Amino acid sequence: MTLLYAATFTKALDRLTAAEQKQVKITAFDLAQDESGNGMQLHRVESAAGFWTARVSQDIRIVLHKDREHTLLAWVGHHDEAYRWAKRRKLVPHERTGAMQLVEVVERVEERPAPFEATAQEVPTPVAVERPFADLPDDALLDVGVPREWLDAVRDTDVVRVDDLFASLPDEAAEALLNFATGGRLSDHVAIKAAPGTDPFTHPDAQRRFRAVEGLEELKAALDAPFAQWAVFLHPAQRAPVTREWNGPARVSGSAGTGKTIVGLHRAVHLASRQYARVLLTTFSKTLAKSLSGKVELMTEALPDARQRLSVRAIDQAVHELYTGAFGQPNLATTAQIRAAIKAAADTGLGAGHSPEFLFEEWEELVDAWGLHDLESYARVPRIGRRTRLGPKQREGAWEVFAFVRKRLAERNVMTSADIYGRLSAWVNAGGQLPFTHIVVDEAQDLSVAQARFLAAAGRAGGPDSLFFTGDLGQRIFHLPFSWARLGLDVRGRAQVLKVCYRTSHQIRSTADRLLEPEIVDLDGNQESRRGTVSVFDGPAPLVRLFPNEDAETAGVSEWLRARLDEGMNDQELAVLVRGQEQLGRARAALKTAGVDIPVITMHDAKGLEFRAVVVMALDDDVLPDPERLAGVGDVADIAAIQDTERHLLYVAATRARDRLMLSGVVPGSEFLDDIR
């Protein structure tokens, strides 16, 4: 007999107290060792075929479904709720697709009496009710996984109740209908049909919500980690790019919360399951790499061989290790050394007509980033994001400074990070052997030019499916845009956009999306559209509050945080985010007033994290966009590019919230708040 658990079980478990969860896990472990349930207090649920309850405590019950071949952990909760849940469910394969589904019993909707008796003079005007699915035939609905008993109820659903379908229908059906209601095509969601005799639990749609447990360790890993719901249950649209044999570099994108990182993780584990593979899973920061590493540990709990073949490193760390192995320990130049070299060049009369700030930005964004070592290369490089036009004489004058800087760095035997990537790229192009057969990059929108060039070299040295990227152009906050294809990373024709948001409520996601354009197109013509993106759950609307002064904001944020704790959230499920180090004091003052100890994080450091509730504080007009960053722009025309990255930064901060979001500041507030209020 096979033991399985359902997504509904892990979600219900998460709603219990810590003490109750511990008791449930003990009972689940007992069941895993004796799937027959002998020695346990099992009770059949009358009028619910196949459903049983297992006693956890005086009040808590696990709902099981048992047949001759399977025992399923289906739900868990308090006694009366457990029986009500079971009596309203049945476990059956879908008649058209063959995928196993937990189907909710359809309630008969009674006609409600009119609120008043209209007189002859008071005949109410009929209100037209829009029913987006009214004309869909049975076959169209069955093809996307709608259970037959729900066909009439779906067609009777009006437009304001479409989101309610997520609580009642299997995910694949609800997502297809919601996409159709927002302008998509139902034909894009036709489900795979299982072959006759196939186990209905192995259907791709079924594997989103059911997982077979192979041993106690795997069950413990799944029940102990909140991440389990994300790591285990993949949308079919997410599964396709994970297992596909790509014929070149591929990229998966989508709005915040659509599961891009999960796709990257599953892709890395999928590749590492091959005996010959050696996989590097990487991202731009050590903090995110540490987070990815913890999730890999969970996902490979029962796959020790795959774990041995999979390394997780921040990309700078991985490249530093590779460089040291090939050439020895590098000496990195500091920002202070670069600025000092530019000043020394200016002191000798070089670079006349160019400010030190302009020259430093030109060095960072173009000369060093693109690995330029001569005037001819500097004259040819595209000045994307650098809007000041430079004539030939102006470029020659600027290049005199950059040549001076390169000579100064060489004399001191130091090199920049871009130099390290450049030399390692040349080494790979010349036949140097990397210890990886595949590289999976998360948060790829924040790659630098030098990093992208190195990855292109690695891709040429590897097989056609050796490079896989996930990212969101709307979350680019560290570098100006550039053409991937120009550097050898051409993902055209191999770029996929995810449309279903699992992490963030509809209200938070739609509010944050107002900060960005509906379509973002990269410099290679790949389009990332936010149109048609849907969230699978609702929540309260984000709260935007501006206060007369900082003390009033402290009090308001403190009150909001205390209310979240009173709702049952714990400290580590909340966070306060601010633009930078200068605003940390304001956030800590709010925590002190509230008497709580929750994470306080800058927006940049919050990248890749998530919390049930988030406050984004200090959104003042002189904080976001950052006035110092704008004032330090040497090229005045670059202000628009800086504005865009600051706007993206607020988008990142807002989408760290799952259920609740508060945005606060002192009047008049950041100009970006005008877009979302």
Q: Tokens in use for 4? A: 């399985």
Q: How far apart are the first and last CA of the chain?
A: 55
Give dist(CA 640, CA 627) in Å, integer. 13
Residue 366 carries which DSSP code? I
The H or E element containing residue 453 is helix 449-461
Location of structure tokens 């774990």: 307
- Which residues are CB-contacts of 96 (< 8 A; sequence separation ≥ 6)? 142, 143, 145, 191, 193
The answer for residues whose C-beta is within 8 angstroms of residue 216's C-beta and 6 or more apart is 29, 32, 33
Residue 99, SS3?
coil
Reply yes or no: is the peptide bond before residue 668 cis, omega within 30 of 0. yes
Asked if 73 contacts 62 with a C-beta cutoff of 8 angstroms, the reply is: yes
Question: CA dihedral defined by 423, 429, 430, 433, rounded to 10 degrees?
Answer: 90
Per-residue pLDDT, 107: 66
Q: What is the pLDDT of residues 582-606, one digit of tens each?
A: 999 999 999 999 999 999 999 988 8
> Which of 536, 535, 510 is closest to 676 using CA atoms?
510
- Rounded to 5 degrees, φ, ψ at 2 are -100, 130
- For residues 655 and 512, the answer to whether their CB atoms sit within 8 Å is yes
How far, in Å, CA of 629 to CA of 648, rounded? 15
| Amino acid in the structure at residue 526 | N
CATH code assigned to 234-317+432-535:
3.40.50.300
Looking at residue 22, its pLDDT comes to: 84
Q: Is the peptide bond before 625 cis (omega within 30 degrees of 0)?
A: yes
Distance between CA 462 and CA 453 in Å, rounded? 14
3 state SS of 467: strand
Domain layout of the chain by residue ranges: 2-99+199-223, 234-317+432-535, 335-414, 543-676
DSSP code per residue over 246-300: -SS-EEEEESTTSSHHHHHHHHHHHHHTSTT--EEEEES-HHHHHHHHHHHHHHT
Q: What's the number of CA atoms in the CB half-sphere (13 Å) around residue 618?
A: 24
pLDDT score of 538: 79
Name which of 357, 200, 374, 217 is nearest 298 in CA terms.
217
- Distance CA(527)–CA(96), nearest Å, equals 34
Answer yes or no: same fold for 234-317+432-535 and 543-676: yes
- What's the CA gap between 512 and 598, in Å, rounded? 23
User: How far apart (Å, rounded) are the C-alpha atoms in residues 577 and 656?
Assistant: 9
Please choose, from the candidates 133, 146, 297, 315, the residue with its C-alpha nearest in 3D space to the C-alpha of residue 228.
297
Whether the Cβ atoms of residue 32 and residue 76 lie closer than 8 Å to each other: no
CATH for 2-99+199-223 (3.10.580.10, 3.30.2310.20, 3.40.50.720, 3.40.50.450): 3.30.2310.20
Q: 447 Cβ partners below 8 Å, 6+ apart?
A: 284, 315, 441, 455, 479
Q: What does the CA dihedral 313, 604, 238, 538 come to, rounded to 10 degrees? A: 150
Q: In a 10 Å sphere around its CB, with 0-12 CB exposed, 13-18 middle and 19+ buried, how is residue 67 labelled? A: exposed
Multiple choice CATH, 543-676, 3.40.225.10, 1.10.1040.10, 3.90.1640.10, 3.40.50.300: 3.40.50.300
Distance CA 635, CA 328 (A): 38
CA-wise closest residue to 303 among 354, 332, 265: 265
The pLDDT value recorded for residue 367 is: 93
Cα separations in angstroms, 404 against 183, 346, 398 = 58, 10, 10
Q: What angle do CA 599, 20, 660 make, to 5 degrees?
A: 35
Please give the radius of gyration of the chain, using alpha carbons only, rounded to the nearest integer: 28
Helix (H, G, I), strand (E, B) or coil at 669: coil
Asked if residue 643 lies in contact with residue 603, where contact means CB atoms within 8 angstroms, the answer is no
Parts of the chain with a pLDDT under 70: 1, 34-40, 107-128, 214-218, 220-237, 302, 383-389, 477-480, 521, 523-524, 530, 629-641
What pLDDT is recorded for position 114? Answer: 39
